[in-house]
Structure 1
Amino acid sequence: MADVDANRAAQRDIYGEPLGAIVDRCRATLGLTQGRVAALLGISAPMLSQVMSGQRIKIGNPAAVERLRAMVEATDAVAAGRLAGADAIARIEAAGGPGELLTGATTRRTSAREIAEQVQSLFRRVASASDYLSAAGRIEDAHPEIAELLRVYGAGRTDDAVAHLAGPVTAP
């Protein structure tokens, strides 16, 4: 128990308060599960549990720490009524860079271009560009956002896919 108390004191020095309190406040305000918080931060659920309970002192991944900072800021903005919950989640997802890939035992940052190329590669393994354009034309009136996805990732240029990744996404 002494180690946990010492770890929580260390967390207070590093983060301003114990991580369990920080994450619980964010979860409650944003309506998230602990697993969703871990996913947003880009760390495993067991790792999040360990830092929340004081078994570990800090989050070692700088990108995850940046997303935690963004989560706290977004939580405060939601609590003050300056930001909608969905917008807060989008801010958190965007913080700390475009994303990360786990490669063996290491983590490396992935550029927006690499992500766009991976998504386009997946689309292009399934069907041809002309198939996606045809499908997009058929659903354009009823589902324009889905039609755009088909065009951009199934038949578009990589530069267009990168721009699409960076642009705002509107949820229904």
Structure 2
Amino acid sequence: MEDHKIVQRNLALQREWYGEPLGDRVRRLVVAFDVSQANLAEVLGISAPMLSQVMSGRRAKIGNPAVLARLIMLERKVLVPDVAAGKREALQRALDEVRASKPSVTRDSLPVDVGRNDRVAITALRRVAEAADLTAAAELLDGKYPDLADLLRRAGRTH
């Protein structure tokens, strides 16, 4: 199979297994925690080349369930107010906690929240725009992109 077809197949599998391509999820964490991809790999407990392969679709899955559990832990920590506010100490504390964690992963204990995660998107939107701007953007997009408009409206509502 051609490399291009393998990558497309792997990205499709990631959407099925993880709710979206892992590259999208990892890039959000790199931005949210203001770390390099290599640093994030170290926090997750995976080699930087392996993380790169998973992100690019050259590999379909994260083979170690503890690494996936740490990824999910970091995604949840983005919702902590001081982390969401980008406070350097809170970001570092969250990274250190996840790095030090030893998740016990079984079929019944893996933390699952891998579909659309609107809370992370809303937090990110609130970091870059004022409530009035989010609401105005929602109004502009409402007719053609109602789902996106709804997300913007919700982000502007409690901002």
Same fold (TM over 0.5): yes
User: Secondary structure at the residue paired with 1:23?
Assistant: helix
> 2:37 is matched with which residue?
34
Higher strand share: 1
> 2:14 is matched with which residue?
11
The alignment status of 1:24 with 2:27, answered yes or no, reads yes
The change in CA–CA distance for 1:11 and 1:87 in structure 2 (over 3 A counts) is same
Q: CA deviation at 1:88?
A: 1.5
Unpaired stretches in structure 2, ≥5 consecutive residues:
105-159
The whole-number CA distance in structure 1 between the counterparts of 2:91 and 2:20 is 23
2:73 to 58, 62, 70: 70
Of 8-17 and 18-27, the range deviating more from structure 2 = 8-17
Alignment identity in percent? 46
The whole-number CA distance in structure 1 between the counterparts of 2:41 and 2:86 is 24
Question: Higher relative CO (CA 8 A, sep ≥ 6), structure 1 or 2?
Answer: 2
Mapping of residues 1-172 of structure 1, within 5 Å: 1-77=4-80, 78-79=83-84, 84-97=90-103
Q: Cα RMSD between the aligned structures? A: 2.3
The whole-number CA distance in structure 1 between the counterparts of 2:102 and 2:72 is 9
User: Secondary structure at the residue paired with 1:39?
Assistant: helix
The whole-number CA distance in structure 1 between the counterparts of 2:12 and 2:84 is 26
Please report the TM-score for the alignment, with normalisation by the length of structure 2: 0.55
The change in CA–CA distance for 1:47 and 1:73 in structure 2 (over 3 A counts) is same
The whole-number CA distance in structure 1 between the counterparts of 2:56 and 2:62 is 13
Contact residue 70 and residue 95 of structure 1 kept, 8 A: no
Letter matched to residue 96 of structure 1: K
- TM-superposition CA deviations, 1:31-62 (whole Å, max 9, x none): 11011111011111110000000000111112
Question: Which has more radius of gyration?
Answer: 1
Letter matched to residue 28 of structure 2: R
- TM-superposition CA deviations, 1:19-40 (whole Å, max 9, x none): 1100100000101101111101
The whole-number CA distance in structure 2 between the counterparts of 1:38 and 1:80 is 23
The whole-number CA distance in structure 2 between the counterparts of 1:68 and 1:80 is 20
What is the aligned residue count? 98
